[in-house]
Amino acid sequence: SQQGEEDPQALSIQEGENATMNCSYKTSINNLQWYRQNSGRGLVHLILIRSNEREKHSGRLRVTLDTSKKSSSLLITASRAADTASYFCATSREDTSYDKVIFGPGTSLSVIP
Amino acid sequence: EPEVTQTPSHQVTQMGQEVILRCVPISNHLYFYWYRQILGQKVEFLVSFYNNEISEKSEIFDDQFSVERPDGSNFTLKIRSTKLEDSAMYFCASSEWTGRNTIYFGEGSWLTVV
């Protein structure tokens, strides 16, 4: 299976702390995307990182990609209560099946005010 | 900012009934997708659609399911005879090109089969 696997499954931190979530995958990818989902809501796209990129930033978000280890990390700095959500990585395979992305099971982040 | 819109937001249906979920993808996008998420579980790929035909589908997308782009703006998912296990949040998504580009999701349609 190409799907990403996030770790940890659940993370609880205090407001102001940094949160790091990791994603591992099994097959070579074209890109990896991170999404956020508030409870019962839709999937909000955060960042797309391509296989030839190592790091991307967007506001308080930093994503890294290590294709040799088949892993990615999402760092949220200076967390806020509003960051409480589930975070998913989704991978697009390099060889075939590039019409879709496959999601991992997600990390549930709780930011305590 | 352009967005994917879905209707209805919530539908309750009797087992065995047909359901149509509707989506309006982002206007200049060419690839369309349906995903589903059973409560508390991960997001699962159902089908991708390009150039008026299915480009890929998962094992979940059996003969009970069909997709259609009836006009230039709508993209629908039909479930012919719903089962209890079809209860889930169904997400429509679109991308400008293939999954190699950002895929944008709608807010979802929550389907409850009773």
- pLDDT digit string, tens, across residues A70-87: 999 999 999 999 999 999
| Chain A contact set for B103 (CB, 8 A) | 33, 45, 90, 101
Please report the sign of the dihedral spanned by the C-alpha atoms of residue B80, residue B85, residue B89, residue B92.
negative
A59 touches chain B (CB under 8 A): no
Q: Is the pLDDT at B54 greater than 60, yes or no?
A: yes
B-contacting residues of A 79-108, CB under 8 Å?
88, 90, 92, 97-106
Q: Please report the pLDDT score of residue A96 as a whole number.
A: 59
How would residue A97 be classed by pLDDT, with cut points 50, 70 and 90? low
Cα separation of A101 and B55, whole Å?
13
B83 or A40, higher pLDDT: B83
- Please, what sign has the CA dihedral across residues B79, B80, B82, B85? negative
Q: Quick check: helix, strand or coil at residue A82?
A: helix
What does the pLDDT look like over B7-40, one tens digit per residue?
999 999 999 999 999 999 999 899 999 999 999 8
* From A33, A105, A106, residue closest to B103, measured CB to CB: A33
First and final CA of chain A: distance in angstroms?
38
A45-54's contacts with Cβ under 8 Å and 24+ in sequence apart are: A45/B102, A45/B103, A45/B104, A45/B105, A46/A74, A46/A87, A47/A74, A48/B101, A48/B102, A51/A94
Length of chain B: 114
The mean pLDDT of chain A is 90
What's residue A1's pLDDT? Answer: 44
User: Distance of CA B56 to CAs A15, A97, A100, B26, B31, Å?
Assistant: 42, 7, 8, 20, 11
Q: Nearest CA to CA, how far is A60 from chain B (Å)?
A: 20
**Per-residue pLDDT at A30:** 87
**Which single residue is written with the structure tokens 């349609």?**
B109
Q: A98 or A68: which carries more pLDDT confidence? A: A68
- Asked whether the beta carbons of residue A43 and residue B105 sit closer than 8 angstroms, the reply is yes
- Altogether, the residues listed in chain A come to a count of 113
A47 touches chain B (CB under 8 A): no
Cα–Cα distance measured from residue B30 to residue B49, given in angstroms and rounded to the nearest whole number = 8
Q: CB-based contact (8 Å) between A31 and chain B?
A: yes
Q: What mean pLDDT is predicted for residues A11-40?
A: 93
Instruction: Give the amino acid at B23.
Output: C
Residues A36, A47: Cα–Cα separation, whole Å: 10
